[in-house]
């Protein structure tokens, strides 16, 4: 890395010839029907945001909620790393896959869109009926008074509290950035000196407004997501390994109702045994092809 420049989008390619056969089969299942769409981190890789578990992804151990609230040094480490990751991820743009999802909605094909991503790129691309299952990385919340603040506002506060930190972190070396804007930094001493911002209203602990490992997804989001699946004739999963139950539950729910489950993902998923069709292919190009070929309702 040479600076905190915009993340370079990766152009979506046309589906490979072998993949087209499977896509035509998927087309046959979905044509004339409204379906629910569940997306994961694999959709945002073409926007330059790394995946957690895709092929080639480095092993990661994300901080749990219990670790975050358990010790001030954990929160210092988290916010220092997040400050670096945010400086990069906030510049990401939607890719062709996000645009395709928005087009599917505009043409009346979706009962709704459930995303496990916190990057808000679906909304940036024009999708409206979206459940941000794991929350959103552009907001922070106070654990004491529950006020919410813009992550952009917090970035300015952190820059004032830690002048020159980003430049020093860059020189120290950012190894990788995760889908939740967490960054790995090699310089432990640099992290140890980071000053954490507290809630400006009550002085309480600020936390990113998304679901950590060890936290439960809010009930209203789960219920709204189930309603999208209930109203659909099929469920299309795009770019999720379904490793966590928060997404897998909807695949199980659809399969239990006898609905077709289509999975497009590079690498195995926990829902493969429930899938009517599993396609190991690029998510952006596959969604783009489907959005272009499926007739609107």
Mind listing the pLDDT tens digit of every residue in the chain (297 residues)? Answer: 333 333 444 445 678 888 999 999 999 999 999 999 999 999 999 998 877 555 454 555 678 999 999 999 999 999 998 998 887 778 889 999 999 999 999 999 999 999 999 999 999 999 999 999 999 999 999 999 999 999 999 999 999 999 998 888 877 765 555 555 565 666 677 888 999 999 999 999 999 999 998 899 999 999 999 999 999 999 999 999 999 999 999 999 999 999 999 999 999 999 999 999 999 999 999 999 999 999 999
The structural domains of the chain, ordered by start, are 17-49+95-134+217-297 (3.40.50.1220), 57-91+139-210 (no CATH)
d(CA 32, CA 109): 8
Count the residues in the chain.
297
Which pLDDT belongs to residue 2?
Answer: 30
Residue tagged active-site, from 83, 98, 122, 134: 134
Q: Which residues are within 8 A (CB) of 217 and not within 5 positions of it... i.e. 6 or more apart?
A: 133, 134, 211, 246
d(CA 122, CA 99): 8
Which pLDDT belongs to residue 10?
Answer: 42
pTM of the model: 0.88
Q: Which residues are within 8 A (CB) of 176 and not within 5 positions of it... i.e. 6 or more apart?
A: 50, 58, 183, 184
Closest-CA residue to 97 (of 288, 238, 264): 288
d(CA 101, CA 48): 18
Tokens of 272: 């493969």
Active site (annotated) includes residue 134: yes
Q: Which residues are within 8 A (CB) of 59 and not within 5 positions of it... i.e. 6 or more apart?
A: none
d(CA 141, CA 256): 36
d(CA 139, CA 90): 12
d(CA 217, CA 207): 15
Evaluate whether 84 touches 6 at the Cβ level (below 8 Å): no
Distance of CA 146 to the CA centre of its chain: 23
Evaluate whether 196 touches 144 at the Cβ level (below 8 Å): no
Which pLDDT belongs to residue 1?
Answer: 30
d(CA 269, CA 242): 6
Q: Strand 130-132's sheet: what is its strand order?
A: 130-132, 110-115, 35-39, 234-238, 260-264, 277-279
Q: Is 42 helix (H, G, I), strand (E, B) or coil?
A: helix
Tokens of 185: 């930094």
Q: Given CA atoms 182, 138, 154, 214 in this order, what sign does their dihedral have?
A: negative
Which pLDDT belongs to residue 183?
Answer: 59
Q: Which residues are within 8 A (CB) of 207 and not within 5 positions of it... i.e. 6 or more apart?
A: 68, 140, 141, 142, 143
d(CA 221, CA 189): 40
């Amino acid at each position: 890395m040479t600076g905190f420049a915009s993340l370079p989008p990766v152009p979506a390619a046309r589906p490979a010839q072998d993949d087209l056969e499977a896509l035509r089969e998927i087309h046959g299942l979905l044509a004339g029907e409204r379906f629910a769409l569940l997306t994961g981190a694999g959709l945002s890789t073409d926007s330059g945001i790394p995946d957690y578990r895709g092929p080639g992804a480095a092993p990661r151990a994300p901080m749990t909620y219990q670790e975050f609230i358990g010790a001030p040094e954990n929160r210092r480490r988290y916010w220092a790393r997040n400050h670096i990751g945010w400086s990069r991820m906030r510049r990401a743009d939607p890719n062709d896959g996000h645009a395709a999802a928005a087009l599917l909605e505009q043409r009346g094909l979706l009962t709704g869109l459930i995303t496990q991503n916190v990057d808000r790129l679906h909304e940036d691309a024009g999708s409206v009926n979206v459940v941000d299952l794991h929350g959103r990385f552009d907001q922070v919340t106070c654990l004491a008074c529950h006020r919410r603040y813009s992550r952009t506002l917090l970035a300015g506060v952190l820059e004032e509290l830690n002048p020159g930190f980003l430049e020093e972190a860059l020189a120290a070396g950012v190894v990788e950035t995760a889908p939740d804007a967490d960054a790995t930094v090699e310089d432990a001493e640099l992290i140890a000196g980071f000053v954490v911002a507290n809630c400006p209203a009550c002085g309480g602990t600020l936390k990113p407004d998304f679901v950590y490992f060890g936290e439960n997804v809010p009930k209203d989001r789960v219920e709204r997501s189930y309603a999208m699946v209930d109203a659909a004739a099929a469920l299309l999963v795009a770019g999720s390994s379904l490793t966590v139950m928060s997404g897998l539950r909807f695949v199980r729910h659809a399969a239990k109702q006898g609905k077709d489950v289509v999975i497009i993902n590079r690498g195995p998923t926990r829902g493969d045994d429930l899938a009517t069709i599993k396609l190991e292919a690029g998510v952006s190009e596959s969604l783009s092809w489907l959005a272009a070929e499926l007739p609107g309702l």
